[in-house]
Every structure is written in structure tokens, then in C-alpha cells.
């Protein structure tokens, strides 16, 4: 039996963790901490979770971290790092899976440039980046701190890794146009998320010069795959969807690849074969035969990927979709817990999408 605590259970990420873990026979939820609803039934915070009959912890702090095998932190950055440091100091046997960005960037200066001062920089070295498809070999029972990836980095990195790794078939200069639903921004109310501001509308954000905080994370992952510098132009967009993320990624195909593939039909078959081979041991990645939609993966832990070549422009165009709260957050976090616990990676995550 795995003993699990969740901090930040009043937010979307925390609620989704309870949805994924609450019915598992091999998991016991021991502390559910949410500062704005201490002591209240979880069903009051998330009526959809009422059938579980759970109640939040009486206080706004984790009281017994040492009793948990795993603590999930579903908090904003900074608050997460402070909590992770406290847990790892007081309960050295407990493993922490952090959904925030606090431990994702290996380089402190890069973190501080995008997020400000780091509350626990000494933990950066210890954290393992939890994108199982690309870092599985590092996700084992010896790990105490997992940096769960961002939703945009998961979606875009999975879309591009097979083209960059090994003998790269694209130039290391990529463009990512990504779309997200509103739950990606969390449960807190913000003006641009009001129904009347967002409905029947779409917007780009995180443009230069400021850029979006997921940019350095995407670059770090792609550079790990490529083994050298990768230029990334990343533009996120907000759409009036509740859940869902779609990334369309572009890059120039290498002259060697183009010389070998001149037929528009067979080039796509070759690309799909390369991608399928890359993900042959990854139960949650499916390389599909037609452009996927966000609805096809909604509420599931799957990422569907469609690579194609536009031979007129000599570019790779890859479309990837996932559910930002599942494969982009809580589902990936549970996948990481399974790996650290030595369980099959798919445990409790095999549900299919709700469709239509
Ligand atoms: N939403 C996504 O699709 C997604 C995807 C990947 C990663 N993430 C990351 O996951 C984390 C949680 O995101 P979310 O979408 O669940 O956010 P959210 O819905 O806004 O929830 C945030 C949670 O953190 C708590 N909280 C906020 N500030 C706190 C503080 N200073 N001390 C203690 N608790 C605090 C909130 O408690 P109260 O509301 O009770 O005050 C709430 O439980 C974030 O770091 C986010 O970047 C989110």
C-alpha cells in the first residue's frame, strides 16, 4: 500500500490527483491539505469528488510528512520549493513529486532570470526531471525529488524529440505554436479567464520580449535530446476550452533527410515509422495516422502525435495533443510515482478519453 499526501488539493492539479488516486486499491490518501478549505469535506471543494467521502486536513500545513511514502505538491512556484525543502529535511524517507516549475530548470541563473530568487537552490542538483518518455532511466526508487514537467514542455518536447535525437532529421531551430485550455491557468479567478472575455475568442500571450516561462524548460529538454544548442521560438495561445493542449511544431528538415525523401506520400510513412520506433516502449504516446484533436485525449494520460513533412518548404510539421491536467500535470505525476515505487508505469492511468 502506498501512503500518499497531497498539498494544494483545492486547486485543479490537486483535485485531479485525487481523481486519479482516490479509487486506487493500492493507494491510501493520508493527508489532503488545501489552505482555503481546511477541515472541510472535499466534496464541498470539488463536488465531482464527493463520492470518495474524503475530508481535508484540519490545518493548512502537512502535519505528518514522515508517514507518507509520497507527497505531491500542487502549489505555485516558490511556495512549492519551500514546502519541498521542509519535507525533505524533516522526513528524509518521503519522496516529493512537485508539479510546480521550481526544480525543473537545472541551471540556477536561468531559474532566477525567469522566476526570481530560488527558495531552495541546493535541491536543484537532487531533483530529477520527470518526463518518463525521455528520462525514464533516471526515475527509480533512489529518487527523492521529482520535478514534474510543465504541460507545454511535455507536449512540445514529445512532439520534437524523435526528430532531434540520434541522427537528427531537423535543424536545431524550432518554432512551436501551442494552444491551451483555461484550466492550464489554475482555478484562481482572473479577468482574462471570465467567460465573457474568453468565450468565442482566442489570444496569443507570452510573446517577446518577455517570453513565456516554459521557454527555457522546453529548450533544456530539446537540448538534452539533441546534445547541443537548440533555438526555440515558442508562442502559447489561450483558447476557450476547459481542458486540452495542442502544439504544432515546425523545423527545417536536414538536407540529408530531404535528399533521401522526395515523395510526399512515402516521406510521411517514414516519419511515422521513425516516431513509432522512438516511442515503442512508451505506453502513453501514440503516433497517429491523421492530425489529432484535443478531444481525443481529454481526461486520459495519452499524448497523440502526428508528424508530417511539408516538402514544398522542406519543413517538418508535427502536431501533438494532450490533456494539460492529466499527461500535462497530475497524470504524469502519478506515472512518476509508479516508476519510483517500482510499479508498472500504467497503474491507475489506463483510462481512455471521454468522447465525444
Ligand atoms: N493547471 C495545469 O494545467 C498545470 C499543468 C502543469 C503544471 N501545473 C502546475 O501545478 C501547480 C498547481 O497548479 P494548479 O493549476 O492546480 O493551480 P491552482 O488551481 O491555482 O491551485 C493552486 C493551489 O495552491 C494553493 N496555494 C496557492 N498559493 C499558496 C501558498 N502561498 N501557500 C500554500 N498553498 C498555496 C492553493 O490553495 P487555495 O486555493 O486553497 O488558497 C491551491 O490549492 C502550479 O505550480 C502549476 O504551474 C499546472
* Chain segment 113-132, per-residue pLDDT in tens: 999 999 999 999 999 999 99
What spacing in Å lies between the alpha carbon of 46 and ligand 1's midpoint? 15
Please give the distance of CA 250 from its chain centroid, rounded to a whole number: 20
- Comparing CA positions, the residue from 139, 148, 98, 145 lying closest to residue 125 is 145
The ligand 1 atom nearest the CA atom of 185: 1
Q: Label residue 258 exposed, middle or buried (CB < 10 Å: 0-12, 13-18, 19+).
A: middle
- Identify whether the C-beta of residue 242 lies closer than 8 Å to the C-beta of residue 96: no
What spacing in Å lies between the alpha carbon of 336 and ligand 1's midpoint? 19
For a mutational test of ligand 1's pocket, the pick from 33, 37, 76, i.e. the residue with the most ligand atoms closer than 8 A to its C-beta, is 76
The ligand 1 atom nearest the CA atom of 76: 45
How many residues would you count in the chain? Answer: 356
**Confidence at 144, pLDDT banded by 50, 70, 90:** very high
In sequence order, the 6+-apart residues with CB closer than 8 A to the CB of 45 are 9, 10, 15, 34, 37, 56
Phi-psi domain of 314 (left: phi exceeds 0; alpha: psi -120 through 50; beta: other) = left
* Chain segment 70-99, per-residue pLDDT in tens: 999 999 999 999 999 999 999 999 999 999
**Confidence at 223, pLDDT banded by 50, 70, 90:** very high
Separation CA 68–CA 139 (nearest Å) = 19
State the catalytic residues: 151
What percentage of the chain has pLDDT greater than the value 90? 99
* Chain segment 6-37, per-residue pLDDT in tens: 999 999 999 999 999 999 999 999 999 999 99
Please give the distance of CA 263 from its chain centroid, rounded to a whole number: 35
What spacing in Å lies between the alpha carbon of 197 and ligand 1's midpoint? 22
pLDDT, residue 18, reads: 98
- Comparing CA positions, the residue from 318, 322, 173 lying closest to residue 244 is 322
Mean pLDDT of the chain: 97
For a mutational test of ligand 1's pocket, the pick from 5, 7, 10, 13, i.e. the residue with the most ligand atoms closer than 8 A to its C-beta, is 13
pLDDT, residue 348, reads: 98
Please give the distance of CA 9 from its chain centroid, rounded to a whole number: 18
Scan for cell 514546502, then name that residue.
Answer: 83
Residue nearest to atom 24 of ligand 1 (CA): 75
Per-residue pLDDT at 104 exceeds 90: yes
* Chain segment 40-74, per-residue pLDDT in tens: 999 999 999 999 999 999 999 999 999 999 999 99
Residue nearest to atom 47 of ligand 1 (CA): 100
For a mutational test of ligand 1's pocket, the pick from 17, 18, 60, 74, i.e. the residue with the most ligand atoms closer than 8 A to its C-beta, is 74
Average pLDDT over residues 197-218: 96
Residue 183 Cβ < 6 Å to ligand 1:
yes
What spacing in Å lies between the alpha carbon of 288 and ligand 1's midpoint? 33
pLDDT, residue 96, reads: 98
Residue 8 Cβ < 6 Å to ligand 1:
yes
Q: Label residue 256 exposed, middle or buried (CB < 10 Å: 0-12, 13-18, 19+).
A: exposed
pLDDT, residue 265, reads: 85
pLDDT, residue 31, reads: 98
The ligand 1 atom nearest the CA atom of 36: 40
Average pLDDT over residues 248-254: 98
pLDDT, residue 38, reads: 97
* Chain segment 317-348, per-residue pLDDT in tens: 999 999 999 999 999 999 999 999 999 999 99
Please give the distance of CA 92 from its chain centroid, rounded to a whole number: 26
Domains annotated on the chain, with CATH: 2-126 (3.40.50.720), 152-324 (3.30.360.10)
Residue nearest to atom 22 of ligand 1 (CA): 11
Beta bridge partners of 319: 248, 306
What spacing in Å lies between the alpha carbon of 166 and ligand 1's midpoint? 37
Amino acid at each position: 500500500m502506498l501512503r500518499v499526501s497531497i498539498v494544494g488539493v483545492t486547486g485543479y492539479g490537486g483535485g485531479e490527483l485525487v481523481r486519479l488516486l482516490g479509487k486506487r486499491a493500492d493507494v491510501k490518501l493520508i493527508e489532503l491539505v488545501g489552505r482555503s478549505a481546511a477541515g472541510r469535506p472535499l466534496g464541498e471543494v470539488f463536488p465531482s469528488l464527493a463520492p470518495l467521502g474524503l475530508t481535508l486536513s484540519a490545518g493548512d500545513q502537512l502535519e505528518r510528512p514522515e508517514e507518507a511514502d509520497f507527497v505531491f505538491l500542487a502549489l505555485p512556484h516558490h511556495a512549492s520549493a519551500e514546502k519541498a525543502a521542509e519535507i525533505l529535511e524533516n522526513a528524509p524517507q518521503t519522496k516529493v513529486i512537485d508539479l510546480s516549475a521550481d526544480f525543473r530548470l537545472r541551471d540556477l541563473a536561468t531559474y532566477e532570470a525567469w522566476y526570481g530568487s530560488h527558495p531552495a537552490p541546493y535541491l536543484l542538483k537532487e531533483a530529477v526531471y520527470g518526463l518518463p518518455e525521455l528520462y525514464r532511466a533516471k526515475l527509480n526508487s533512489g529518487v527523492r525529488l521529482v520535478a514534474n514537467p510543465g504541460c507545454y514542455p511535455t507536449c512540445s518536447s514529445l512532439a520534437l524529440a524523435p526528430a532531434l535525437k540520434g541522427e537528427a532529421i531537423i535543424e536545431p531551430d524550432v518554432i512551436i505554436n501551442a494552444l491551451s485550455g483555461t484550466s492550464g491557468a489554475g482555478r484562481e479567478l482572473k479577468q482574462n479567464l471570465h467567460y465573457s472575455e474568453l468565450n468565442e475568442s482566442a489570444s496569443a500571450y507570452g510573446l517577446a520580449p518577455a517570453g513565456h516561462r516554459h521557454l527555457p524548460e522546453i529548450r533544456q529538454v530539446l537540448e538534452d535530446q539533441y546534445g547541443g544548442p537548440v533555438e526555440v521560438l515558442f508562442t502559447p495561445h489561450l483558447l476557450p476550452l476547459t481542458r486540452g493542449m495542442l502544439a504544432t511544431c515546425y523545423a527545417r528538415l536536414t538536407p540529408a533527410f530531404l535528399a533521401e525523401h522526395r515523395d510526399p506520400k512515402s516521406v510521411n510513412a517514414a516519419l511515422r515509422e521513425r516516431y513509432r520506433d522512438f516511442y515503442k516502449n512508451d505506453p502513453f504516446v501514440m503516433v497517429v495516422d491523421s492530425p489529432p484533436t484535443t478531444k481525443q485525449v481529454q481526461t486520459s494520460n495519452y499524448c497523440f502525435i502526428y508528424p508530417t513533412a511539408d516538402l514544398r518548404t522542406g519543413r517538418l510539421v508535427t502536431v501533438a495533443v494532450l490533456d494539460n491536467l492529466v499527461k500535462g500535470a497530475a497524470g504524469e505525476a502519478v506515472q512518476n510515482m509508479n516508476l519510483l515505487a517500482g510499479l508498472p508505469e500504467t497503474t491507475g492511468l489506463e483510462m481512455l478519453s471521454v468522447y465525444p
